[in-house]
Amino acid sequence: MKTPIILLIVFSLPFVPGAQQPGSGLNIFHLEGGLYVYTTYGLSGTVSTPANGMYLVTSNHVVLFDTPWDEAQFQPLLDSIEKKHHRPVIACIVTHYHADRTAGLEYYREKGINTWSSELTYRLCGEKGLNQAIQYFVNDTVFNIDGYSFETYYPGPGHTEDNIVLWFPADKVLYGGCLIKSNDYKTLGYSPDSNLYDWAGSVRNVLKKFPEAAYVVPGHFSWGNKNSLRHTIKLVRQKKSSSG
């Protein structure tokens, strides 16, 4: 069941799939309409790894989807948005409990930004001593910001037990987060918290739910179209096969 939530206050670069700068810092790419992908970096072992987040610019406000992984970029992201769009960030919605999604929740709470997660993510953050959002939603939820609607969808466990995706129907953009692996990936990457039994089925649920997706943005590395969903299913099958 979808629960409607109405928030009543509640530099544009060309889009090139996979155009990311290696190493460090903050990079912002225009995707479609008022949607932007931003990339920050964190260490996966000893390797600097890009992490994608997104934000939405509406007529009066900005909404973040996931926080920067690199704490040095928490404020620069806000500064860049203010400089480019001249609108305040009013909310941040995170897609699962790992630090590459939630590291900045406390910082943004202190800045007066309303933060959201699913109830499951909220609970897992608490159990693991990680930053929690201020509010949580229980069911798949439709948000309406200044007349622009988007929705959250929980397809089932995969990368983590709590991973959700976000769907922006007006622009046919699917933010897959870490449930979805970029075509750049040759393996599933970091997966000790994954559910290999259900992961492929969860991705199939996404394919069935949003067949008209034109853009798919994964949690790491390059983005493109729905091929990345099929690629993720293939990687899960390979991992299951190699694990016996």
CATH number at residue 165: 3.60.15.10
Kindly report, residue by residue over 146-173, the tens digit of the pLDDT: 999 999 999 999 999 999 999 999 999 9
* 227 lies in some domain: yes
* 85 lies in some domain: yes
In whole angstroms, give the CA distance from residue 7 to residue 238. 43
* 1 lies in some domain: no
* 24 lies in some domain: yes
* 13 lies in some domain: no
What's residue 231's pLDDT?
A: 98
In whole angstroms, give the CA distance from residue 104 to residue 116. 12
Q: Any idea which residue has 């964190």 for tokens?
A: 42
What's residue 190's pLDDT?
A: 86
What's residue 244's pLDDT?
A: 60
Low-confidence ranges of the chain (pLDDT < 50): 1, 3-22
* 8 lies in some domain: no
pTM equals 0.90
In whole angstroms, give the CA distance from residue 44 to residue 28. 21
What's residue 171's pLDDT?
A: 98
* 5 lies in some domain: no
H or E, element range at 57: strand 47-57
* 126 lies in some domain: yes
Domain boundaries, position 181 = 19-242
What's residue 14's pLDDT?
A: 32
Pairing of strands 215-218, 173-177: parallel
DSSP for residue 148: E
> For residues 217 and 52, is the Cβ–Cβ distance under 8 A?
yes
What's residue 241's pLDDT?
A: 87
Number of domains into which the chain is organized: 1
What's residue 243's pLDDT?
A: 76
